[in-house]
Structure 1
Amino acid sequence: MIFKKKKITNAYTIEQCNSCNKEIKRKFKDGDCLFSEISKCSACNGTMLIEKIFGETIEL
């Protein structure tokens, strides 16, 4: 018998500060849009932008 492995894809968002280049990876939220300003950087108080939205696939 041949079994198919289940695949689950999780979406993630990378936020990057435009001043100090600090990056944060977090789970994707509805409404995330590339290059939109989200919040202030916790390290330097600069502006955090969404730089990348991607998915990671896990086989079970």
Structure 2
Amino acid sequence: MYAVGNRDPFSGADVIADGIMGSRGGVPVVASPMREQLFDLRTGVCLDDPEVSLPVHALD
């Protein structure tokens, strides 16, 4: 299970929870519904722009 921030860093909208989850090359990802950037659910890093990321929250 993964927990990342809900705010899309590109648009500023709280929409990541509405994104489509899947995988790319075995990496679990979520696609932003705004501009369809893919984010690694394990690290929060954007696969389309590695300089941008979502915050990742630890699950206890």
Name which one, 1 or 2, has greater alpha-carbon Rg: 1
Q: Which has the higher strand share?
A: 1
Pick the TM interval, shorter chain: under 0.3
Greater relative contact order, per chain length (Cα 8 Å cut-off, separation 6+): 1
TM-score normalised by L of structure 2: 0.24
Q: Which has the higher helix share?
A: 2
